[in-house]
């Protein structure tokens, strides 16, 4: 028996046949200034769309006309859609950007769904309230048989017709987000799409390496509300451009990670992007505070997960990876930040292991008013991190001895990172 959701969508699609093309020969961006009108939308399950004069002319959107969707009762997936006259072309584009205004709380889910000769959907959460912002949905790897744009705001909740169930949007634009990511993942190639997908309460982004301004890295945050398996998918939902060539004789990957505490359990999971039940997981444990390269051996699967041998014997392939910091532990009292970089297939060559500086002296420790950092031959960068991984100070290429005034530092544990070339030193300092 067909679900009510499917029946309603079939009926909505059928209505398009008898109401002309709705959108007409529309090209992107869709700015709602001329071709698209209220009659162009197909509403469903409690969503009502209209094209109106912009009631919020401010910030990044001063256009005269915008679209509006009001959600009032109905289903948790209430929304509206536009039907395009031809299929979307993802040969040179792989994403959408759209301006959104809402008074709903920060973190409200906006689902952008593509339908037609298939289905693809992506979720993005808002980062501001009561202001326009531009959101991006990554559809890398999406099939080309799609011609319906489906807009579902506050997905997962039932609207009540109030201001927080009213959403404005404008300038729906097809964009190129870069080529599909592949191993090794360095985060440094501007032509590559290094999207990250946090889940179960985690957050993350690609950021400048806090210990090296010339390097880009992945950042994974674990806030107090994060679940025990909060993690980050490396790349888009489509995974890597090539399969990870795991075999029983070559079962290893390595990742360079930064943790604020030694002994942090880190899990790496690989899977089939087309079948999330086909996975293999393994774990490693950080041994230092700061950067180090860890090896992940998938022939030693994590307890309760499928073995690599069984997966390979069943013909499974793996082209997607996710990383979990402090796996098995939920968010604590404070948000903790981790970093990762250089995700590669294969084990760790001895020449790639972290080099350690031995000529650094930090005093006094514990410290109260000031901290002196002495190095024999100078340094490239000095960074100080709080116990929860937040960078609080950085100095680049300065004198051999550095004195730091601690009057603005809160009492607690800190980690001092000193970098010279490829070598690092990390010291724990208590400020009281």
pLDDT tens by residue, 314-363: 999 999 999 999 999 998 888 999 999 999 998 775 544 455 566 788 89
Which of 171, 309, 178 lies closest to 251, judged by CA? 309
What pLDDT, in 10s, does the model give residues 96-129?
999 999 999 988 999 999 999 889 998 888 889 9
pLDDT for residue 183 is more than 50: yes
Does residue 180 sit within a domain? Answer: no
Domain identity same for 262 and 304? yes
Which pLDDT does position 358 carry in this prediction?
64
**pLDDT band for position 393 (cuts 50, 70, 90):** confident
**pLDDT band for position 414 (cuts 50, 70, 90):** confident
Domain identity same for 336 and 360? no
Which pLDDT does position 234 carry in this prediction?
96
CATH of the domain at 293: 2.60.120.430
Domain identity same for 161 and 237? no
* β-pair partners for 166: 70
pLDDT for residue 8 is more than 50: no
Query: What is the rounded CA–CA span in Å between residue 322 and residue 304?
Result: 17
Domain identity same for 118 and 18? yes
Domain identity same for 59 and 142? yes
CATH of the domain at 410: 2.60.40.2470
Domain identity same for 333 and 366? no
Domain identity same for 200 and 153? no
Query: What is the rounded CA–CA span in Å between residue 113 and residue 35?
Result: 21
Give the residue with greater pLDDT, 255 vs 237.
255
Does residue 422 sit within a domain? Answer: yes
DSSP 100: E
Domain identity same for 259 and 396? no
* β-pair partners for 236: none
Domain identity same for 105 and 10? yes
pLDDT for residue 36 is more than 90: yes
Does residue 286 sit within a domain? Answer: yes
Domain identity same for 296 and 372? no
Does residue 181 sit within a domain? Answer: no
What's the distance, Cα to Cα, between the start and end of the chain in Å? 68
Average the pLDDT over 152-167 and give the result.
97
DSSP 105: P
Give the residue with greater pLDDT, 91 vs 188.
188
Please state whether the predicted TM-score (pTM) of the whole model is above 0.95: no
Given 295, 317, 352, the domain boundary residue is 352
Give the residue with greater pLDDT, 376 vs 366.
366
Given 294, 324, 352, the domain boundary residue is 352
Q: What is the CA 277 to chain-centroid distance, rounded?
A: 21
Which pLDDT does position 24 carry in this prediction?
45
pLDDT for residue 9 is more than 60: no
* β-pair partners for 125: 109
Contact 274, 356 (CB under 8 A): no
Given 142, 175, 208, the domain boundary residue is 175
Kindly list the strands in the beta sheet with 79-83, ordered across the sheet, starting from the edge strand earlier in the chain. 41-44, 79-83, 146-153, 109-116, 119-125
Query: What is the rounded CA–CA span in Å between residue 99 and residue 97?
Result: 7
Domain identity same for 291 and 376? no
Domain identity same for 11 and 146? yes
Does residue 332 sit within a domain? Answer: yes
- Average pLDDT of the residues of the chain: 87
Does residue 267 sit within a domain? Answer: yes
Domain with 401 in it:
355-431
Which pLDDT does position 355 carry in this prediction?
57
What pLDDT, in 10s, does the model give residues 40-84?
999 999 999 999 999 999 999 999 999 999 999 999 999 999 999
Does residue 187 sit within a domain? Answer: no
Query: What is the rounded CA–CA span in Å between residue 174 and residue 165?
Result: 26
* β-pair partners for 113: 121, 150
What pLDDT, in 10s, does the model give residues 257-300?
999 998 999 999 999 988 999 999 999 999 989 999 999 999 99
Does residue 185 sit within a domain? Answer: no
Give the residue with greater pLDDT, 89 vs 5.
89
Which pLDDT does position 352 carry in this prediction?
47
Which pLDDT does position 270 carry in this prediction?
98
Domains held by the chain: number = 3
**pLDDT band for position 89 (cuts 50, 70, 90):** confident
């Amino acid at each position: 028996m067909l679900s009510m959701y499917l029946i309603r969508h079939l009926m909505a699609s059928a209505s398009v046949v008898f109401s002309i093309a709705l959108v007409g020969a529309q090209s992107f961006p869709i700015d709602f200034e001329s071709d698209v009108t209220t009659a162009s939308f197909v509403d469903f399950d409690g969503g009502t769309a209209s094209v109106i004069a912009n009631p919020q002319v401010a910030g990044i959107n001063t256009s005269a006309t915008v679209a509006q969707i009001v959600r009032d009762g109905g289903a948790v997936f209430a929304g509206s859609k536009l039907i395009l006259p031809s299929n979307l072309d993802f040969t040179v584009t792989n994403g959408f950007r759209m301006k959104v205004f809402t008074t709903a709380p920060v973190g409200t889910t906006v689902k952008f769904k593509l339908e037609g000769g298939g289905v693809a959907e992506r979720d993005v959460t808002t980062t501001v309230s009561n202001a326009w912002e531009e959101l991006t949905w990554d559809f890398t790897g999406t099939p080309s048989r799609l011609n319906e744009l489906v807009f579902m705001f506050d997905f997962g909740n039932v609207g009540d017709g109030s201001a927080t169930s009213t959403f404005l949007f404008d300038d729906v634009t097809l964009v190129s987000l870069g080529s599909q990511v592949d191993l090794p993942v360095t985060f440094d190639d501007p032509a590559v799409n290094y999207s990250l997908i946090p889940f179960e309460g985690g957050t993350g982004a690609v950021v400048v390496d806090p210990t090296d301004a010339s390097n880009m890295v992945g950042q994974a945050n674990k806030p107090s509300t994060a679940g025990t398996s909060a993690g980050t998918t490396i790349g888009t939902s489509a995974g890597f451009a090539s399969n990870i060539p795991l075999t029983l004789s070559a079962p290893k990957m390595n990742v360079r990670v930064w943790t604020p505490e030694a002994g942090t359990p880190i899990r790496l999971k690989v899977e089939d992007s087309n079948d999330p039940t086909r996975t293999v997981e393994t774990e490693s444990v950080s041994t230092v505070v700061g950067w180090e390269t860890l090896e992940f051996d998938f022939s030693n699967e994590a307890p309760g997960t499928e073995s690599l041998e069984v997966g390979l014997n069943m013909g499974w392939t793996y082209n997607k990876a996710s990383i979990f910091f402090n796996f098995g532990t939920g968010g604590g009292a404070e948000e903790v930040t981790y970093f990762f970089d250089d995700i590669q297939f294969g084990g760790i060559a001895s020449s790639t292991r972290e080099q350690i500086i031995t000529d650094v002296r930090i005093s006094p420790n514990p410290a109260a008013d000031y901290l002196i950092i002495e190095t024999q031959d100078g340094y490239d960068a000095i960074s100080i991190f709080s116990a929860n991984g937040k960078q609080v100070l950085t100095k680049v290429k300065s004198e051999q001895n550095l004195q730091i005034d601690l009057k603005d530092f809160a009492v607690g544990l800190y980690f001092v990172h000193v970098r010279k070339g490829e070598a690092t030193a990390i010291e724990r300092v208590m400020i009281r």
